[in-house]
Structure 1
Amino acid sequence: MDEPVDRQPDGRADDHSGAPDWAAVHDACLDATIALAASLTPEQLASAVPATPRWSVHDVLAHAAGVASDVVAGRMDGAPGPAWTARHVAERADRTVADLIEELAATRAAVAAVAAGTDRPAVVWDRSVHLADLHEALGLGVPPDPTWRPVLASAAPGLLAGLPLSVACAGRTYGAGGPEVTVDAYELVRALFSRRSRRQVREWAGPTPSDDELDALAVFGPREDDQPRP
C-alpha cells in the first residue's frame, strides 16, 4: 500500500482559481498533526493504524518526520517505495514524540517552500492522507477541512475522468458520464487515496463500473480490508 501506481492525479483544483496554496495546506496538515501528536497517550501511540496495518501511531508520526527530513535533504532514493518509508520508521523507532515534533517543526519552512513550487505536491498529499489515517485509527472523526478538501479538488478531476459515472460530490460532478451517483466528499478523497476497500467504494459507485475501473481510481492501488469511517 505504500508505493503508488504510475498514473498521477491531475494536480489542479477543479475551479478557475488554479492550483491550491499548497504551502498553506501543508501548514494546516502539519499544525493538526503536531497538535494531535502532543496529545497522545502511550497507549494511543502504540495503537495499530488500520490504513497502514504494519504501522503503529508512533510509526506513522516517524514516517511523517522522515519524509520531511528526506525532502529537505534530497534523500529521495527509492521514494516512495516501501524500503524508503520503512527506513523512516526504523531510524526513529526509539525517538520520543517530542523528538518527532521537533523534527517536524524544524523542517516546516523548507517543506512548505517545496510544496509551493509544484502542482503535484506529494509531500502535502502524504501529510493529508496520514493525518486522516490517524484520525480514523483513534476514532477522532473527520480532520479539519483545510487539511483534505484542497487535495480532493486537485486529485478528483484526473482520477475520475475515465470512470463511466457522473459522480456528484460537494456541488461538483466528476467522471466520464453515465449513471449519476452521489458520494460524500471525505469518503471520496479517502477512496482516491486507497483508504477504502473495494466493497466500501462499491457502496457509492454502484454496479456500473467494472472492478478494474474501480481499482484504477486508487492512487496506491486497491485494497481488500474495510477501513474505519467517522
Structure 2
Amino acid sequence: MAPDDISEWRRAHDRVCTLVLDAGDDAMEFTVPATPAWTARDLLSHMVGLGADVLAGDEPDDHNATWTQAQVEARRGRPASALVREWRSLAPDLVDWMRLNGTRPLGDVVIHEQDLRGALRMPGARDTPGLDAVRERMLGRWRAAVADLPPVLLDAGDRRWVSHGTDDDAATVLQASGFDLFRALTARRTEAQLRSWVARGDVQPYLAAFSGLGPLPAEPLPGE
C-alpha cells in the first residue's frame, strides 16, 4: 500500500496547493467550520508546518494542540503563496521520508483538504483512493473503540463496514454516504446527524467512538 499511499499524498498535496492559489488571499481569512479557532490560512500553516516538523523529527505521538498551534504561529502573517512555496519545497523530502517511515502524513492532508474545502465552499475529491485509505485507517481506530459493544454496521450502499462479527450480527445500522461516514469517523458530523442515519438500533452507545479526533460539532458543517 505504501507506494500508492505516497502517490495519493502527492495528489492531495497538489490539489490543496491549487485550491489555495485559486481561492486567493482574501478567502484564506475565512473561518474553517471544522476547526473554528483557525482561519483557512491557519489551517494551511498547520499542514505545511506538520511536514516541516516531521522532517525535523519533531512529531509527538498525540499531535497535541500546543504542537499544532506552534506551526500556525511560526507562519503568522505569511501570504498563502509563500506557504504553498514552502510546502512544495518540502514535498520531495517528505516523499523520501514516507518511503522509509510510512505514510502517516496522508491522513492529515486528506482530512484537512476537506476541512479547507468546507471553509472555501469548494467541494471536491470526495471519492478518491486516498480518502478510501484514510477512512480504512479511521475505521481501525473506531473498531477498537467499539470492540466491547454489540456489533454496529456502517452502510454506504455500495460498501458496508461492520465493527466486528458479520453484517447480520449488527444490532445497530447507520446508513449514509461513504463521504459522510468518512467525515463522521473524523469527528466532523454532529450527534443529530449520526442519529438521523439510524436504520436500526440505537447509536447512543457508539457516539463516543465518533469523537476520537475531538468533540463532535454542535452544528452541521456548512459547505459540506
Instruction: Name the TM-score class by shorter chain.
Output: 0.7 to 0.9
Q: 2:154 corresponds to which residue? A: 167
What is the CA distance between 1:43 and its match in structure 2?
Answer: 2.5
What is the CA distance between 1:179 and its match in structure 2?
Answer: 3.8
Take 2:17 and 2:33, find their aligned partners in 1: how far apart are those partners? 20
Q: 2:59 corresponds to which residue? A: 76
The answer to whether the 8 A contact 1:198-1:215 is kept is no
Query: In structure 2, which of residues 8, 11, 24 is the aligned counterpart of residue 28 of structure 1?
Result: 11
% identity of equivalent residues: 25
What is the CA distance between 1:206 and its match in structure 2?
Answer: 5.5
Structure 2 length-normalised TM: 0.83
Backbone CA RMSD of aligned residues: 2.4
What amino acid is the match of 1:187? D
Take 1:160 and 1:29, find their aligned partners in 2: how far apart are those partners? 26
CA 1:92/1:198 → structure 2, altered by over 3 Å: closer, same or farther? Answer: same
What amino acid is the match of 1:166? L
Deviations 1:58-77 (A, max 9, x none): 11111111001000111225
Tell me if 1:67 matches 2:67: no
Take 1:172 and 1:118, find their aligned partners in 2: how far apart are those partners? 30
SS at match of 1:142: coil
CA 1:224/1:64 → structure 2, altered by over 3 Å: closer, same or farther? Answer: closer
Matches within 5 A, 1:14-163: 21-77=4-60, 80-117=63-100, 121-146=103-128, 147-160=130-143, 162=146
Deviations 1:75-115 (A, max 9, x none): 22585101101111111012111211111111112222333
SS at match of 2:210: coil
The answer to whether the 8 A contact 2:49-2:71 is kept is yes
Tell me if 1:222 matches 2:204: no
Structure 1 gap segments, 5+ residues each: 1-17
The answer to whether the 8 A contact 1:22-1:115 is kept is no
What amino acid is the match of 1:193? T
Query: In structure 2, which of residues 194, 197, 200 is the aligned counterpart of residue 204 of structure 1?
Result: 197
Structure 1 length-normalised TM: 0.81
SS at match of 2:197: helix
The answer to whether the 8 A contact 1:215-1:221 is kept is no
What is the CA distance between 1:140 and its match in structure 2?
Answer: 1.3
What is the CA distance between 1:202 and its match in structure 2?
Answer: 1.9
Take 1:165 and 1:144, find their aligned partners in 2: how far apart are those partners? 24
What amino acid is the match of 2:43? V
Matched positions, count: 212
What amino acid is the match of 1:202? R
SS at match of 1:53: strand
The answer to whether the 8 A contact 1:156-1:174 is kept is no
* Greater RCO, 1 or 2 (C-alpha within 8 Å, sep 6+): 1
Take 2:205 and 2:152, find their aligned partners in 1: how far apart are those partners? 14
SS at match of 2:211: coil
Q: 2:178 corresponds to which residue? A: 185
What amino acid is the match of 2:120? L
What is the CA distance between 1:229 and its match in structure 2?
Answer: 4.9
What is the CA distance between 1:172 and its match in structure 2?
Answer: 2.9
Take 1:219 and 1:19, find their aligned partners in 2: how far apart are those partners? 24
